[in-house]
Amino acid sequence: MATNETVTPHLDRRTDLLAPAILAQLGGIDIIARQVVHGFMLGLHRSPNRGFSAEFAELRAYQPGDDLRTLDWRMYARSDRFFVKQYEEETNLRAYMLIDVSESMEWSSGAGLPTKLWYAKHLAAAISLILTRQGDIVGFMAFHERIVRQIRARGGKMHWRMLLRHLNALKGGGRTDSESAIKRVAMRLKRKGLVILISDLLVDPAATAKALVYLQHTGHEVLVFHLIDPGERDLPTTGETRFVDPETGDSLRTSVADMRRQYRDAVESAIAEWTATLTSRGIAYSTIGTDEPLARALRFYLWKRQRLP
């Protein structure tokens, strides 16, 4: 049983580096999002690569010649290092997140491991907080075979809190049809911006890739987070297992030993195909394990944001 010391991180500990199983015990989606973003930004401040932290944080490392009136003494007290406050113009980036809420997103392979949907909601909450703090506007669309919830892109703290309420209320159900959701976004977004798809991509690869490419060709930057439960990457070493499709109910009982290697090869082949198809067309794509800290996904988002015009 986890102790209080394990569940509650020290103030200097980076919450964004915690395993999702531990992170899920810290509180509600608002608390987790704030702590994750705080830890992530703190990590950027401490990074030797100051170029990343300058754009995404409200602070940057002090340099000789900076106005001493802009020094942040609270940060100095916490880190024993000098940082200056930055006052940048709003970028007014328009970001829209597409969140897969199909039945398969509610699945988890192990006790204590959050579902793919939990990971998607908290990743969306953290990214939207970063966007809001930068003066950008953000909205989202949740979908399975139809659109189940849509929040118009806006900015500000009140809008972010409203986003969290809607994110927290999302439930899994139905089959995945990301193609139609992407097409609807392409029709509705008149201004160029950033579209972020968060899904387990248990979809028709050809149709979904075609829709993403169309979205990219209309002038939008596209980023894809492919969420994968560790139990989907590899099978148990021994025993007989019954495989069930959570969206159709179809099942198959077979010996794990007979198909473990073939299954692993099939998964890696599918990931390689997604990577080749999307990245060759300028679409940012990353697989993220639901057992991995949110920091990895946020770093990928940061890398993509750095390349926005």
Strands 83-85 and 59-61: antiparallel
| Domain of residue 247, CATH code | 3.40.50.410
pLDDT at 223: 96
pLDDT at 52: 41
What confidence tier does 258 reach under pLDDT thresholds 50, 70, 90? low
DSSP letters along 193-224, please? Answer: -EEEEEE---S-HHHHHHHHHHHHHTT-EEEE
Domain final residue pick, 65, 85, 105 = 85
DSSP state letter for 60: E
Q: Under a CB-based contact definition with an 8 Å cutoff, are residues 118 and 229 in contact?
A: no
Task: Reply yes or no on whether the pLDDT at 81 is more than 80.
Answer: no
Residues 139 and 240 both lie in one domain:
yes
Domain final residue pick, 60, 85, 110 = 85
* Residue 158 to residue 96: CA distance in whole angstroms: 17
Residues 137 and 286 both lie in one domain:
yes
Residues 211 and 287 both lie in one domain:
yes
Residues 136 and 253 both lie in one domain:
yes
Domain final residue pick, 46, 67, 85 = 85
The winner for highest mean pLDDT among 118-127, 209-218, 255-264 is 118-127
What confidence tier does 61 reach under pLDDT thresholds 50, 70, 90? confident
Segment among 11-15, 157-161, 194-198, 238-242 with least mean pLDDT: 238-242
Residues 132 and 77 both lie in one domain:
no
What confidence tier does 252 reach under pLDDT thresholds 50, 70, 90? low
Residues 117 and 54 both lie in one domain:
no
Give me the mean pLDDT over the 45-71 stretch. Answer: 58
End-to-end CA distance of the chain: 49
Residues 166 and 233 both lie in one domain:
yes
Residues 205 and 120 both lie in one domain:
yes
Residues 279 and 201 both lie in one domain:
yes
Residues 245 and 101 both lie in one domain:
yes
Task: Reply yes or no on whether the pLDDT at 127 is more than 70.
Answer: yes
pLDDT at 73: 76
**CA neighbor of 67 nearest in space, from 86, 41, 45:** 86
Residues 81 and 12 both lie in one domain:
yes
Residues 280 and 135 both lie in one domain:
yes
pLDDT at 153: 93
Give the dihedral of Cα atoms 283, 163, 108, 290; nearest 10 deg.
Answer: 50
The C-alpha angle with vertex 177 and arms to 174 and 179, in degrees rounded to 5, equals 165
Is pTM, for the whole model, over 0.85? no
The total domain count for the chain is 2
Range of the domain at 180: 94-306
